[in-house]
Amino acid sequence: MKKTQAPLSEVLITALAPTIWGSTYFVTTSFLPHGYPLTVAFLRALPAGLLLLAIVRQLPQGIWWLRAFVLGGLNFSFFWAMLFVSAYRLPGGVAATVGAIQPLIVILLSRIFLGRPIHAVAVGAGVVGMTGVALLVLTPNAALDPIGVAAGIAGAVSMAFGTVLTRRWVPPVSNLAFTAWQLTAGGILLAPVAFFVEPTLPVPTAANVLGIAYLGLIGAAFTYLLWFRGLARIEPSAAASLGFLSPVTATFIGWLALGQSLTPAQIFGFAMVLASVWLSQRTMSVRPTRPDASPEPASRPA
């Protein structure tokens, strides 16, 4: 089947996910208790996954039990754990810049697992995006911690593998059920780690409940539903480039809600990120692969 360029509407819908993810830092620091990152990640994933499971009422079958836990571990459990390690050991700007390597990893993995060609323009767009993120979030006094850098790279690799395998493994169910499986599996994998590594969460306040509800319902269930939907329609490399929008959103919220200033370098970085996203979408294409994304129904035997 001939490939066609991804419709702008599909790109914009998918871009909502990383844009909303950019609000996670503000919500976490403003509404949640400090020092419980894994517990918060568990509470973000499992209740949202169980809620979606209650809606779809459909469990994995056969090999999809294993695949659901592999994808749940890559996209949520391991990724979020490494993300928090990186965030705790590195300044926010350094952590974001290290994580911005993900689109380049996705380009390589797409070549290995999906047979997609490596476009020089796509690689260049990834480098431009990383540079834009660095200008946007790095500070002159940013320090490097080897463990933090390693955790940031590991998290980027984990999410990149999850992005590519989500496209490779075409589920026999709706996108809603597919999201429910992964969120639930990711939450189950996080539960024992959070229980044994972190102290017991104190009695939550109204602000804590509001923050956890936002991260679970909006920051997880809704956004990952959009994200996995987009991965069924947009090339993984193009979708991964949309992740650059997260630090843009975080910086904008910091300026709007926290009174942080924007320097000329940050404004230039903002422009570079947008240029990178635009270039990535121009060089990639879409090819529906899932049953709920295909315009033609699959034929069935009589």
Question: Mind listing the pLDDT tens digit for each residue in 127-158?
Answer: 999 998 888 877 666 667 888 889 889 999 99
Banded pLDDT at 25 (limits 50, 70, 90) = confident
Domain span holding position 235: 8-285
* Lowest mean pLDDT across 2-6, 83-87, 188-192, 291-295: 291-295
Q: Is residue 263 part of a domain?
A: yes
Q: Rounded to two decimals, what is the model's pTM?
A: 0.84
Q: Is residue 295 part of a domain?
A: no
Q: Is residue 298 part of a domain?
A: no
Q: Is residue 25 part of a domain?
A: yes
Q: Is residue 137 part of a domain?
A: yes
CA 82 and chain centroid, separation: 13
Question: Mind listing the pLDDT tens digit for each residue in 245-254?
Answer: 988 888 888 7
DSSP string, 244-287: GHHHHHHHHHHHHHS-----HHHHHHHHHHHHHHHHHHHH--B-
Banded pLDDT at 220 (limits 50, 70, 90) = very high
- pLDDT above 90 covers a percentage of the chain that reads 50
Q: Is residue 28 part of a domain?
A: yes
| Cα dihedral 247, 98, 90, 222 sign | positive
* Lowest mean pLDDT across 186-190, 191-195, 220-224, 288-292: 288-292
* Residues written for the chain: 302
- C-beta of residue 191 within 8 angstroms of C-beta of residue 42: yes
Q: Is residue 96 part of a domain?
A: yes
Tally of domains within the chain = 1
- C-beta of residue 253 within 8 angstroms of C-beta of residue 122: no
In the prediction, which pLDDT does 140 show?
67
Q: Is residue 252 part of a domain?
A: yes
Residue 233 has what DSSP assignment? T
